[in-house]
Structure 1
């Protein structure tokens, strides 16, 4: 079988080729030389695995946002991310397993020679495939910028030409991502693409258009305080062109009931045979005080038939405190990349900032979208909204608190709203790692590996953002 060499930011990795399969039983670190379909499938699963995992070795944002708490080993709840080299894993998950595979898929599409029967439709198919690949790259790069700040971008994924890539300015990257996403949406044309190898939308171009516009909405809202002119223009264009309008538009990976294709939540909470997680007190108490009906979906009752969360940063017994909800114990629970609830909250924020719609109505729609997502009855939604109406005098608080309530299972999304709107008001535990400076982290530090391998560019990037610290605000986090 043929082999290909794939460049990473810090090493060359050798991956074997493999035949495409209609299941998701593929190694997320494999790139294939047969078809782009194989590679896109692998990249999509790897992306979903990263975004949805609760692993303390990589995606810690459920802990950071004080939804979850660890039972025994509480390093990460105390923001000690160096002990497990969390940043290294985030970096490799996204650059190697996702972006490199997407880049390989792009090359396979560009170099593909269509058969005689494919020639007549290949122009459209090729454009669609390249646009889908690029949208996934835009999504991934945005996640990386929102996690670290300045990152390798213009020289990334080019091992031969740039084995030690420079770090690009985060604001400049955002501008490029917006331009790319707009071009991608315009390129998408009715016709074929990846078909069933596209695990998110099964090749449905209309759904990818909505995803692309929703991604533009997300990009625009994110820079509302740092570049309001570009932000507003991007948001208005995205809404006009067509964002997600219902759960039918959700971008999700349909996990399966068997290994290795079950949801990483199930892997951590059930398949591992471990009891590593319980409810965190700040969020549980917030739900109780506000009589939030989603609490029964988010958590399980403890041995005394109560919802109880542990103090952040302190260990706790699984029977004394609430376990994570039953949804996370289902192996085939879908993995969310972006969903209608998230889009509804961006629309609410856009309405509050720029009157793109009636703010109070958009706020209610967002809250209702979340409640519907978690199976809350219409009667309970009406009651909840009556008690928690939109507050135009402090819209950041209204939307920020409701976003915290909504994104229990979307840790990084919640973290983004928290940093942008400054609600909820979270307190770091008194036991927090010294590196946190007594605060809840607002960014992830760069990988230790980058310091040792790409030290010159790491040092320049660290200086440019104001220091490689957990307390250094990103360029868009202005207040």
Structure 2
């Protein structure tokens, strides 16, 4: 594994220094050796995805700030939703379409073209199907992330640069439907009696059974995502995912295990320690909520440099000395990067139960989700029982119960927390009075398209902007109905 990470480190040199004049350049990762083995491309893609999802870099991932989990200390542009100044959408677009997606596309090409040796021949049919399904599941994860970030996106033409370098944007609702179809096919093709990747799979070490659980969990996630926009398809898909077996234990978490040295330590550590900067403190909105509710997770979410816990006021410069710091987990090199956790899936099960009566009794499914989060953050069984007794399930307003608890639970999974917030409309968050005018006094519900797209792919950009109702921070996605 160390050799793999060393190779990744070489590949990642200059990865953010992309300057593209069209989608063809954007879809070509100059840092990847496309003639190499698919295992190396898989490792690189997994690391790039984990880095993107877990980094607190204001150049790429500001979901912890949008959700008011964290607050900036000195430079507060991103806390006020100024995402244009740093070309953040351009970076996100490149992170997902190039660094993660295109390496998977090239890996698929290599797998499809591979001619097995005589000794591999008998097992290759199963191995090939499993490898292609694993690569496709990751692509589906990325496409859903892109839709959930922007709305309509390049999809059907996004990987066909030999056909067009100016791809059209597909409707988000259509993409979701197609992702469900593709994911079901991938799950059907996986065979746990066969092999997959003997190396290179940092998530699961080639364990097909665990990949099937991740695939079913992703199917459930997609289903829950369209619960308000396409309830019939959502319910049927959720039922199928749950009955087929989703992640229900932390032992099946999809994680990227970081190493203790650069460039392979956790991006939290990179930005909070290795950078020699003190740019973030805990956000007042979350700290106040947890203080009010005597939340036992405060001891691991935050440091004890300030007692009682105190958060920086959202949108304004905040003292590093007098506000609570982020907890020790963020200052540790080897803290795993979360792709999908048992806690996240447990909240999908709670929501499925509350909406449709599947996935367990609503109050029990809710308790399971809250307890999963408490256990994840090291809360004792006794303290967990006390907390849950004080915060029981409210059937009359289940969106508030699930939404607020999911918001807290997703403290280290900002993108996922943003989805719960937008879908359930809880907690009630207010934009700071200092927010940029483009926010229109609201907490953003999407990112604007990259500025680069307005100049390099203007016709398709204009069509997409019109389709979604305007390229604004306040334009709701197709599934965000209330």
Q: What TM-score results when the alignment is normalised by the length of structure 2? A: 0.94
Between the aligned partners of 2:460 and 2:428, the Cα distance in structure 1 is 35
Is 1:453 aligned to 2:456, yes or no? yes
Q: Deviations over 1:2-32 (max 9, x none)?
A: xxxx99825167667xxxxxxxxxxxx4243
- The size of the alignment, in residue pairs, is 462
Matches within 5 A, 1:243-262: 243-262=246-265
Is 1:382 aligned to 2:403, yes or no? no
The match for 1:11 is: 25
Between the aligned partners of 1:295 and 1:246, the Cα distance in structure 2 is 23
Between the aligned partners of 1:160 and 1:180, the Cα distance in structure 2 is 23
CA contact (8 A) 2:187 2:212 kept: yes
Matches within 5 A, 1:84-95: 84-95=86-97
The match for 1:176 is: 178
Q: Deviations over 1:389-417 (max 9, x none)?
A: 00000000000000011010000100000
Gaps of 5+ in 2: 1-17
The match for 2:411 is: 408
Is 1:156 aligned to 2:158, yes or no? yes
The match for 1:463 is: 466
Is 1:211 aligned to 2:214, yes or no? yes
Q: Deviations over 1:442-461 (max 9, x none)?
A: 00000000001001100000
The match for 1:22 is: none
Q: Structure 1 residues 402 and 12 mapped into 2: Cα distance closer, same or farther (>3 Å)?
A: closer
Return the match for 1:112 from 111, 114, 131.
114
CA contact (8 A) 1:281 1:310 kept: yes
CA contact (8 A) 1:32 1:38 kept: no
Between the aligned partners of 1:66 and 1:228, the Cα distance in structure 2 is 30
The match for 1:24 is: none
Return the match for 2:362 from 336, 359, 362.
359
Matches within 5 A, 1:73-472: 73-189=75-191, 190-303=193-306, 305-356=307-358, 357-472=360-475
- How far 1:35 sits from its partner (Å)? 1.1
Between the aligned partners of 1:300 and 1:14, the Cα distance in structure 2 is 42
Between the aligned partners of 1:158 and 1:14, the Cα distance in structure 2 is 11
CA contact (8 A) 1:9 1:157 kept: no
CA contact (8 A) 2:55 2:268 kept: yes
CA contact (8 A) 1:129 1:193 kept: yes
Between the aligned partners of 1:157 and 1:234, the Cα distance in structure 2 is 27
Between the aligned partners of 2:331 and 2:33, the Cα distance in structure 1 is 30
Q: Structure 1 residues 150 and 160 mapped into 2: Cα distance closer, same or farther (>3 Å)?
A: same
CA contact (8 A) 2:27 2:97 kept: no
- How far 1:317 sits from its partner (Å)? 1.5
Q: Deviations over 1:274-304 (max 9, x none)?
A: 000011100000000000000111111235x
- How far 1:125 sits from its partner (Å)? 0.4
Which secondary structure does the structure 2 equivalent of 1:195 belong to? coil
Which secondary structure does the structure 2 equivalent of 1:285 belong to? helix
Between the aligned partners of 2:157 and 2:26, the Cα distance in structure 1 is 15
Return the match for 1:44 from 46, 49, 52.
46
Between the aligned partners of 1:9 and 1:290, the Cα distance in structure 2 is 49
Which secondary structure does the structure 2 equivalent of 1:197 belong to? coil
Q: Deviations over 1:123-174 (max 9, x none)?
A: 0000000000000000000000000000000000222211000000000000
Q: Deviations over 1:195-254 (max 9, x none)?
A: 231000000000000000000000000100000000000000000000011001100000
Q: Structure 1 residues 12 and 150 mapped into 2: Cα distance closer, same or farther (>3 Å)?
A: closer
Greater mean alpha carbon deviation, residues 7-16 or residues 449-458: 7-16
Q: Structure 1 residues 13 and 144 mapped into 2: Cα distance closer, same or farther (>3 Å)?
A: closer
Q: What TM-score results when the alignment is normalised by the length of structure 1? A: 0.95
Between the aligned partners of 1:274 and 1:117, the Cα distance in structure 2 is 54
CA contact (8 A) 1:31 1:42 kept: no
- How far 1:316 sits from its partner (Å)? 1.2
Which secondary structure does the structure 2 equivalent of 1:438 belong to? coil
CA contact (8 A) 1:302 1:308 kept: no
Between the aligned partners of 1:10 and 1:48, the Cα distance in structure 2 is 25
